[in-house]
Structures are given as structure tokens and as C-alpha cells.
Amino acid sequence: MVKTKKIILGVTASIAIYKACEIVRRLKEQAFSVTVVMTPEAGELINPLVFSSLSENKAYIDLFSEAQAWQIEHVSLAEQADVVLVAPATANIIAKCAAGICDDLLSCLILATKAPILFAPAMNENMFNNKVTQQNIEKLKSLGHKFIAPRVGRLACGKTGIGCLAETEEIVAAVKKLF
């Protein structure tokens, strides 16, 4: 029997968060099991219940929530993952990961996992092109993490530039390529 591959989808507070719903749907169509782990800020933009409904799994958001069974959630989720996909990945989560900072459930999970990590950045063009962000991306790449480049398009600020989340099909294809 073939084991269903488990994807942990890390969701951060980018305006592109609405595309994460489509990513869940498309990954499920490809027979992946998807569990969503959100930053608290992402929970201000979309209710975790939306992701629970789409993924058919509990969506996690709180580092200190009461567990259903005795477990340390960021560690148990990290151990279950075949891939951790962070989409959309903000400059904040990229910087935290590059510095080894883990102050929420998602950043703790990323630090605890041995699974491949794939980041799909989405942010303002100035933030993406900032030397610090580029250094953080290069550092994470040097550690073996993968990136799906953002595309040029209309940004939340109303301008057109690089920083739009990659297309859903490209993200799903990148996940499949890891297997």
C-alpha cells in the first residue's frame, strides 16, 4: 500500500493568503494529505476553519493551544511532514527562519522538521528586493531549502512589480517534483 504524502502548508499574513485556499484544494486533488499551520497574523486575515474545511484536517495556529492528546504539536507535526511548504512566505517568516527564530507555531515547526522546506515568497517589490531579504533567501538556499520565485504582477500597494505569489500550478508542480 502506498503511503499518502503529508504536506504541511505554512500560511503567513500576506495579502496573497487567499491563494493558499486554492493551493490546499489543488494539493488534495493530487492525493496529498494537507495540514495547514498558520501564523497568528494569518489568522487575522482568514479564519482557520476555512483551511480545516478545505484540507479536511485541523488547521493549527496557536503554539500554546491545548493538545487533544499528549504531544508537542510543533514537534509532532514536524515529524509527520514529508514536505513543509510555506505559501505565501512573507519577508518576516523568511527572516525568522534565516535567523533561527522560532516564536510561533510555524517557525518552531520549520526549525524542528527534517522534511524538505519549500518557500513561495509573496511581498512588496521593495521588500523582496531589499538586500536583507535577498541575503536571508540566499542563506536559506545554502542550507538546502528550496524557493519558488515570485512573479511580476499587480501588488497590494497598487503598483506592478516582482513579489506576487507564484501561480498555484507552479507551486503544486514544485511540491510534486520533491517526490
Render pLDDT for 102-148 as a digit per residue (tens, 0 to 9): 999 999 999 999 999 999 999 999 999 999 999 999 999 999 999 99
Place of cell 499518502: 4
State the amino acid at position 105 in one-letter form.
Answer: L
Judged against a pLDDT cut of 70, whether residue 73 lies above it is answered with no
pLDDT in tens, 140-171: 999 999 999 999 999 888 899 999 999 999 99
Whether 87 contacts 61, CB under 8 Å: no
Residues linked to residue 85 through DSSP beta bridges, in sequence order: 9, 118
Whether 23 contacts 174, CB under 8 Å: no
Q: Which CATH architecture has domain 6-177?
A: 3-Layer(aba) Sandwich (3.40)
Residue spans per domain, the chain:
6-177
Q: Which one of 21, 102, 157, 164 is the catalytic residue?
A: 157
Judged against a pLDDT cut of 70, whether residue 38 lies above it is answered with yes
| Residues, the chain | 179
157 classed as catalytic:
yes
Question: What is the model's pLDDT at position 48?
Answer: 96
Q: State how far the alpha carbon of 48 is from the alpha carbons of 35, 79, 178, in Å.
A: 11, 22, 27
